[in-house]
Amino acid sequence: MLYVKVKAKDVRFTIPIPYAILTLVNSILSSKFVHQQANKWTKEHFERKKLDFTIPQIDKEALKPIIKELKYHKGIVLVDVKAKDGTEVKVTI
């Protein structure tokens, strides 16, 4: 399970994210529909900036083993960010 911990001045909370949710999000983000919509939404911005860029398709089969492997590395800190105003965000496995 992935844990997202947020500490702010007044608020502290932890969001547990099960691996099943990660797998579901992987399937959604790697879908053809989401890929087409992302390119459609960013097309106007890239045209204004005169950039010739399309968002590449996410390969679901390449991410599956990564999500599976996360289960065997519990306790690893993936993200640990502290802002100047005292806000902290920590993502651990």
| The two structure tokens encoding residue 40 | 């459609």
**pLDDT truncated to tens, each residue of the chain (93 aa)?**
899 999 998 899 999 999 899 899 989 988 999 888 888 888 888 888 887 777 788 888 888 898 888 889 888 999 999 999 989 999 999
Domain positions in the chain: 2-92
Backbone angles phi, psi at 7, to 5 degrees: -125, 125
Q: Residue 79: CB partners within 8 Å, gap ≥ 6? A: 89, 90, 91
Question: Does the predicted TM-score (pTM) go above 0.75?
Answer: no
pLDDT digits (tens, 9 = 90+) for 11-22: 999 999 998 998
Dist. CA 9–CA 86, nearest whole Å: 7
Q: What does the pLDDT read at residue 55?
A: 77
